[in-house]
A and B are shown apart, each in its own frame.
Chain A
Amino acid sequence: MEEVNVTLTVNGKEHDLNVAADERLLDTLRDRLHLTGVKEGCSIGECGACTVILDGKAVNSCMVYTFQIDGSEVLTVEGLETNGKLDPLQEAFIDHQAVQCGFCTPGMLMSAKALLKENPDPDREEIKTAIEGNLCRCTGYQQIVDAIESVVKKDGSE
């Protein structure tokens, strides 16, 4: 199989890669760049565990071939912390016990991050819509929505 050359900026770092036609963004991130925070769940866009931010938008990385996105920017959960400090969303997930088994957490965080980038002041319904493509089988979602909402409120009072 012929490989395709692509350049991707992942978490601020540029990568020049030769990828196979059927290599999904999920595979590139996990297997090549060892960003294993990106999880593979259903592989068909139903669970959201593989959610990353591609050019500013939350997407399922299991449904994108890497060869399609030459020149793009990708943000994964590993790119959320800055200077060793967790993102406020990550802190909030810890504070609200919004994590149990943890498998959905990176995807949830990226959906939440994409939402806040686009809309810094979402209401509870908008938060629920933003994470509607992310399944969590542990928490029942309440704590997750609470956690995201707390970051919004914090921002509003600053």
Chain B
Amino acid sequence: MIEFEALKANSLEEALDILAEKKKEVRMVAGGTDMLVQIHHESDDLKGMEYLLDISSIPGLDLIEDNNEYLKIGALCTHSEIMDSVLVNEKFPILKKAAEVIGSTQIRNRGTVGGNINNASPAADLVTALIALDASVVLHSKHGKRELSLSEFITGPYMTDRYEDEILTEVKVPYIQGEYFDCYQKVKRRQAVAIARINLAVITKLKDNKFDDIRIAFGSATPTAMRFREIEAELEGSDLNKIDYDKLADETGQAMVNITGERWSTPYKRPVVGNLLKRALQSIVKEVQ
């Protein structure tokens, strides 16, 4: 059994002081939907943990705000709050689509954006959509704050660039101009409370039936969720009615294998990532026509 002492921060300053002082021995908890499972399973990742710092009551970190150039999503926003946010729906409907396939109602009511990112699971549903949207994260420590792109922040499966004295406070999603279409796909073993085998976020504009600023991000296909830029480049400017979607699907599968190498899951994932992209693009085409 893992033994630990409970700490509770009522302000960001208080939390940062605790982290600065105790660093390695502290783990943070907000919604708890990952942390309590890890504690239950006595995960090796928790070795050396002496304190569990509850940050769920820190005021101001659960807001979703329009900041002119970007949408600011507080790290303590729950998945349910993202789904219900008028601002999110208006600016980035794909985030709602990603949030609503996470876990179950109970999990969405507790799990937070900050937790989803910091847990850094390659299968995290929100992360894939945020990567497609070029989101960045803001981290605070006692010594100040820094901002970096989400794709730089998540450095590997379950690994981030967060220093031990830092708290992820907000996610910034830069606004995009014009009319975008989107599609979110998730392959899973069952309908609910399912971890993505693969997830995919596609957003694009269309100019005279041609893909414009198309972004394609896969989760759970590569060690961290990432944009498939080669495939994006191939599609950019192409007429949606003149694309050989089967060829594109093959190339997408190959693009994944080029990154991961042949793995035990490759015979399954190679065709599935390709077909998933094909399905997503065709659903966008259908929506347009």
Contact = CB atoms under 8 A, between A and B. Distances in A.
Given A22-B39, A57-B80, A45 B106 contact: yes
Contacts of B193: 45-46, 132-133
Interface residues of B, number: 31
Could you say which of B5, B36, B80, B191 has the most chain A C-beta atoms within 10 Å of its C-beta?
B36
B110 A64 contact: yes
Interface in B1-18: 1-6, 8
B33 interface: yes
Contacts of A21: 4-6, 52
A98 interface: no
Contacts of B37: 44-45, 63
Contacts of B106: 45, 48, 51, 58-60, 63, 111, 133
Contacts of B103: 45, 133
Given A21-B52, A59-B109, A132 B6 contact: no
B40 interface: yes
A68 B105 contact: no
A134 B106 CA distance: 9
Interface string B140-153: 00000000000000
Contacts of B3: 1, 22
A60 B5 contact: no
Nearest to B109: A57
B212 interface: no
Nearest to B8: A67
A139 to B, nearest CB: 17
Interface in B185-231: 191-193
B283 interface: no
Interface string B8-38: 1000000000000000000001011100110
Interface in A51-85: 51, 57-60, 62-65, 67-68, 70
Contact of B105 (A43, A58, A65): A58
A64 B56 CA distance: 11
Nearest to B51: A21
A46 B107 CA distance: 9
A104 B80 CA distance: 23
A2 interface: yes
A132 B56 contact: no
A51 B193 CA distance: 14
Contacts of A131: 105
Nearest to A23: B6
A101 B168 CA distance: 44
Contact of B54 (A46, A68, A129): A68
A67 B54 contact: yes
Interface in B217-269: none
A103 to B, nearest CB: 16
B104 interface: yes
Given A21-B52, A57-B109, A65 B104 contact: no
19 contacts: A2-B5, A4-B6, A21-B6, A43-B40, A44-B40, A45-B33, A45-B106, A46-B193, A59-B106, A59-B109, A60-B106, A63-B106, A64-B110, A65-B6, A67-B6, A67-B54, A111-B105, A133-B105, A133-B192
Q: A-B pairs with the 4 shortest C-beta distances?
A: A133-B104, A132-B192, A21-B6, A57-B109
Given A51-B106, A111-B106, 5 more contacts: A4-B8, A60-B107, A64-B32, A65-B32, A111-B105
